[in-house]
Amino acid sequence: MSKIIIAIDGYSSCGKSTVAKALAAHLGYAYVDSGSMYRCITLHALRKGVIKDHSFMEDEIIKLLPEINLRFKFNPTTKSSDTFLNEENVEREIRQMIVSENVSKVSAIREVRVKMIAIQRELGKSKGIVVDGRDIGTNVFPDAELKLFMTADTDVRAKRRYDELKAKGQHVLLLDVKTNLIDRDYQDTHRKENPLVQAKDAIVLDNSELTREQQLEFILNLIKELTVSIN
């Protein structure tokens, strides 16, 4: 079966990464979490103090880009990829609320997007890759063989995100999580550089009431139909 590029776009906390990881593992494909890449830059900027006390220094963030090295490494325990920032495993750190509160602003910076897109396209040259994010099917891989646009009810997404953070020992309020999601949705869909929109040829997957297994089965059936038509 010919390898393809699978682009998964959608709103925050709608399960893109979970489905993408499971799909990549099932197919034996590489998985790239573009959201983690932007979170890494945000974390680095926070650590360097260029994002502090609601102060956002765009020019200083741009200056940090040359010193950032990103890679993904398969974790045999979790059966998924961990994100490394300058050889440090930051998978836990990039999921903090302070990162979530700032990542949409960072990802809207043109220079940041140019750097991340270049890395993603390089990783996709050999195909056999699953990538999730906000503009994968519309901008990064507009010719991807399969494009999905994932969404879910806002309350469902907020509860999922809340449960995830609580499981990691973070003390948050459900209302704060929901407010953050609504704010991120607005920023993601209204940013100047490659806003979140559904690609015209993307297939919508609303997983508000679907299990992970049902989502995976739905996508695998799409792939079967697609590969039959390709081959």
Whether the model clears a pTM of 0.75, i.e. scores above it, the answer is yes
pLDDT for res 1:
63
Contact call for residues 112 and 103 (beta carbons, < 8 A): no
Architecture of domain 5-223: 3-Layer(aba) Sandwich (3.40)
Domain boundaries, given as residue ranges, for the chain:
5-223
Residues in the chain with pLDDT values less than 50: none
Q: How many CB atoms lie within 10 A of CB 216?
A: 17
What's the confidence (pLDDT) of residue 74? 74
Q: Which amino acid is at 163?
A: D
d(CA 78, CA 1): 27
